[in-house]
Structure 1
Amino acid sequence: MKMYKSAILFADRKGEELAPLNEQYSPALLPIAGKSPLEFWFEYLCEQKVEEVFIFVGAHSTAIKAQFPSGEHWGFKLSYLLSKGEELPQSLVERNASQLPSDYLAARADVVPQPRNDGSLSNCFSCDDDQEMSVSTLQSLAWGEMKNGPQTPQLLLNLQEYADITAQVLASKLWCCTPRGLMLDDHKWTATPEFSAERIEAVDDAIYVGRESIVDRSVSIKGCVSIEANCFVDRGANLNNAIILPGSYIGQNVSVDNSIVAGSLLIDLKHGLAQQISDPALLSPIDMNAALTRTENSERFAAAMLMLLSAWFVLPLALLGRRKGSPTLSRRTHRSNRGSRNYAIELELLSFNTRWTGINRWPQLVHVIDGDLKLFGTPIEAVDQAPEQDLALAQGVLTPADLHPNYAFDDIEMQLWGLELANTKRSFLANTLKGISAMTLPKLGRKKTALES
């Protein structure tokens, strides 16, 4: 069998068959269990020891180049060539003949590889010095001919086929398409330590959980469910045969059934309907530049114990010390850590009305238990408040100013110290110790500044 050192891929589909997802994704970049059709092709070409790959890209060229700037990871040189979109492969090759090799493998990279039992792919072709054969091969790769010709699987002809392909990949029915991450059980994959083997065992059907995604323990998962990277599925949500695309928030008690979610876009596969959800408490995009802030179970437990142990004296003080003309308990609209600054999720912040700040904040421990706030973090922000820096939301009941009231924090210091206190990469105990050390570190910094001046 002849070994080819070069390959030419065509990834210039407009993706109109996949509307409305084509507005956000090239067909070649559609997320499938943490990867994409183009990445599956790269992995196959790597196994074939290809040394140079040329890709024809169209309207989504910027996104494709940004995601795959080079082929170094797969051990080949990667070069991009432009197409007007769904041009005839033969025309593209003839127009760029001076840059292309004469012997190469050819395939459409905006469809999923179609495996044969013998280890080859039915939609990957060889082209060589036989000009007549090469012309015929390239003609068969024209998108217009492929979509209107004999129906073959894995072409991504519609959104339902996209969902079916995702299920096949999770079920390991396509040997050339392996999900990103680890297989913890049959048809169960995870790319994040947040979703442990213990939790995988509680799921009966196929599942994928992507990098940096958070799935609350109370979430119900049935059927084939793919949760891509940087998603947050909140308490009480129900997922049944669902695809959650990267950077999507699923709100509390929201049901997603036979649907695709892309930020605030809900696509109902059963009825063929797509709708933008305007309420960010239900569905919303997550700021991909900001890390998700999760309230750990240890924090929730600590907040519950604090409320339980202190209620006997806090509640009488709240009643006796209530300011005249004010209700005992007030509610104000603020941001929840479940959202982001660009896509805020509102929180009805509870507080007592007394002359004691500590007593006033006591009801806010409820928000820690609910997961809307951290125990330690940055100051709580109003929905319309413009931050000094575009940092992650990590608001806490206790802030750096509470831990060291005599230090004059500026706004940026307050944000950075608060983020350090809320650091989700450390345990709650480590953050508590960090909070204690924060009571002395600013003071030392203040003294040093005074000496230097």
Structure 2
Amino acid sequence: MQAIIFANRTGNELAPLEQYYCSALLPVGNKAVIEYTLEDIVTSGITKVKIIISSQAQEIEQLLGDGERWGLDIDYFLSKPEEKTAAVLDRLSLSMTDSIIIVRGDIFRSPCIANFIDFSKQFSNEFVQAKMANQNACMLLLPAALSYLDGIDWPLTHDYDSNSVVTLILHGRCHMIDSFQSYMNANLNLARNDIPSLTPMERSFTSANPEQDFYVGAKTHTGDLSLQNAWGIIGENCRIDPNVVMKNAIIIGNDTLIDKGSTLENCLILPHTYVGEGLEVNNSILCKKLLISLNTEGHIEIDDQALIGPSEHQASTSSTDRNLSTRFFILMLLIASLPFCPLLAFYALIRVMFFKLETKPLIQEMINDNLGRSLVTYSFNVPTRLLSLLPQLFLVVTGQLALFGAPAQIRYATGRNKQRLGVFGPVQLLLDEDAPEEERMLLMLEFDNTHTSTKYLSLLWRSLRIPRLLGAERKKQNMTH
């Protein structure tokens, strides 16, 4: 048996939060919604999974990978946002005689897939409707459910007559996450241990609340939680000033910074968010510069970084020191390379004249990067990309670009517009300027997902050994066709 997980919801019900997270990627207890579905799939004994993705497809692939950490074999299929289930299955060309479970991976439910499969097998020729907490649990088992595929189309509109189908009542919690309060409740249920078979990943810490305690992630610094009349979940790598006051339910995402004098009460703060000094947050959801009221479900965007904003903008002194050290080292490298620059320029001139190239020996380019800046870059017209980009080290010294990162003229991968921009990277060193956007995107994603400590040295070595290999191969293929 294999599983097909639909994760193609856009999350428009939670606008404007969908700018940051599609429904499948929303964190519940610092883990994406779809990860809970994958863990549930694993307990049922299924190992082969197809995931239907649409909004933020690349982010989902980057998070889940090939499924190895769960012992799964994951394939991805792109669909239109909230495309009908029947239409997607037609394009997959599946054998409809095989047993296949179809499940939505963008809602949050108690683990139940194994129970659903075992029960459905007892009624192999009848459609089994799964319900949990008096709601559609969004699961179907083929081939018996072929005539009822619209039952998990989003938005959910169909509720079958219990007299014409077999209904399985599953115990647990089910959150459609189609409103801000529903999303908040999913986090609160997890923090209260109200969901059978699910507990927060973090360690438990005693609080002053007589009924509930805190769950705190690794490498997180807080004040004395035993003095806080609050409870909830605090993620990894967070810094909460000891003077922060917390009341009632508090859910804080990974890599979050809460400044001194702030008061938090009944709030959900999503990962990578900064809460400024002396700010009072009550009955709200915070996501970077976005503040959402749970009372009115209204929202405001705050541009003042002193109030709320992305936590990655709060740079530490040590990181600044490292950045200055890197720029000083590059300055020394640039000075050392100056004697070779006339040789490279002369070689570029000879190359342009000999091959009668239409370009100049020194190429100047004006780039409007994805942060709205205009940059003037220079490069030598030589085949070895590492050497051709040497003039751009000046942009590293001046702090306009990092040494390693995405190309400044990046135009691909929606949602990645805040990534680090640099002089050197796999796109710059291994591809020609006319490489297709898809090839550039896939190469950058592959490099980002490589976590070896020597990947930058390996990249530089490859660029010296096989300059522009990919581009040359592509041109050769075009000529043969």
| TM-score, length-scaled by structure 2 | 0.55
Contact 2:82 2:154 in 1 (8 A): yes
| Residue 173 (structure 1) aligned to one of 194, 209, 220 | 194
Contact 1:90 1:135 in 2 (8 A): no
Kindly report which structure 2 residues correspond to 1:149-228, keeping only aligned pairs within 5 A, or say none.
153-184=174-205, 186-195=212-221, 199-228=224-253
Q: 1:175 to 1:69 in 2, by over 3 A?
A: same
Q: Identify the residue that residue 282 of structure 2 maps to in structure 1.
A: 257
2:97 and 2:63 map into 1 onto residues whose CA distance is: 25
Kindly report which structure 2 residues correspond to 1:126-145, keeping only aligned pairs within 5 A, or say none.
126-130=140-144, 133-136=145-148, 138-145=149-156
Q: Identify the residue that residue 444 of structure 1 maps to in structure 2.
A: none
1:48 and 1:105 map into 2 onto residues whose CA distance is: 11
1:125 and 2:135 aligned? no
Give the SS at the match of 1:174: coil
Give the SS at the match of 1:43: helix
| Residue 61 (structure 2) aligned to one of 57, 62, 65 | 65
Q: Identify the residue that residue 237 of structure 1 maps to in structure 2.
A: 262
Q: 1:271 to 1:231 in 2, by over 3 A?
A: same
Q: 1:216 to 1:94 in 2, by over 3 A?
A: same
Q: CA deviation at 1:203?
A: 3.0
Q: CA deviation at 1:187?
A: 4.7
Q: 1:50 to 1:273 in 2, by over 3 A?
A: same
Contact 2:104 2:139 in 1 (8 A): no
Q: CA deviation at 1:119?
A: 6.1
| Residue 387 (structure 1) aligned to one of 374, 399, 404 | 399
| TM-score, length-scaled by structure 1 | 0.59
Q: Identify the residue that residue 7 of structure 1 maps to in structure 2.
A: 3
Contact 1:40 1:176 in 2 (8 A): no
Please, what is the CA RMSD of the aligned residues?
A: 3.2
Give the SS at the match of 1:165: helix
Give the SS at the match of 1:144: coil
Query: 1:128 is aligned with what amino acid?
Result: L
1:56 and 1:117 map into 2 onto residues whose CA distance is: 18
Q: 1:76 to 1:263 in 2, by over 3 A?
A: same
| Residue 102 (structure 1) aligned to one of 98, 101, 105 | 98
Contact 2:230 2:247 in 1 (8 A): yes
1:30 and 2:6 aligned? no
Q: CA deviation at 1:284?
A: 1.4
Q: Deviations over 1:103-161 (max 9, x none)?
A: 1222111111245699668426352343xx3332x2211112359999x9400111111
Aligned length: 293
Kindly report which structure 2 residues correspond to 1:191-340, keeping only aligned pairs within 5 A, or say none.
191-195=217-221, 199-287=224-312
Contact 1:105 1:124 in 2 (8 A): no
Contact 1:232 1:248 in 2 (8 A): yes
Q: Deviations over 1:306-338 (max 9, x none)?
A: xxxxxxxxxxxxxxxxxxxxxxxxxxxxxxxxx
Contact 2:96 2:143 in 1 (8 A): no
Q: Identify the residue that residue 356 of structure 1 maps to in structure 2.
A: none
1:291 and 1:79 map into 2 onto residues whose CA distance is: 38
Q: Identify the residue that residue 368 of structure 2 maps to in structure 1.
A: none
Query: 1:168 is aligned with what amino acid?
Result: N
Q: CA deviation at 1:270?
A: 1.2
Q: CA deviation at 1:390?
A: 5.0
Query: 2:154 is aligned with what amino acid?
Result: W
Q: CA deviation at 1:102?
A: 2.4
Give the SS at the match of 1:32: coil
Contact 2:110 2:196 in 1 (8 A): no
Q: Deviations over 1:32-62 (max 9, x none)?
A: 1110210111111111121111111112211
Contact 1:258 1:270 in 2 (8 A): yes
Contact 1:102 1:127 in 2 (8 A): no
1:294 and 1:240 map into 2 onto residues whose CA distance is: 32
Contact 2:53 2:77 in 1 (8 A): yes
Q: CA deviation at 1:64?
A: 0.9
Q: CA deviation at 1:168?
A: 0.7
Q: 1:203 to 1:293 in 2, by over 3 A?
A: farther
**Uncovered stretches (5+) of structure 1, i.e. residues with no partner:** 296-341, 343-384, 392-453
1:261 and 1:21 map into 2 onto residues whose CA distance is: 10
Q: 1:240 to 1:101 in 2, by over 3 A?
A: farther
Give the SS at the match of 1:105: strand
Q: Identify the residue that residue 395 of structure 1 maps to in structure 2.
A: none
- State the percentage of identical aligned residues: 25
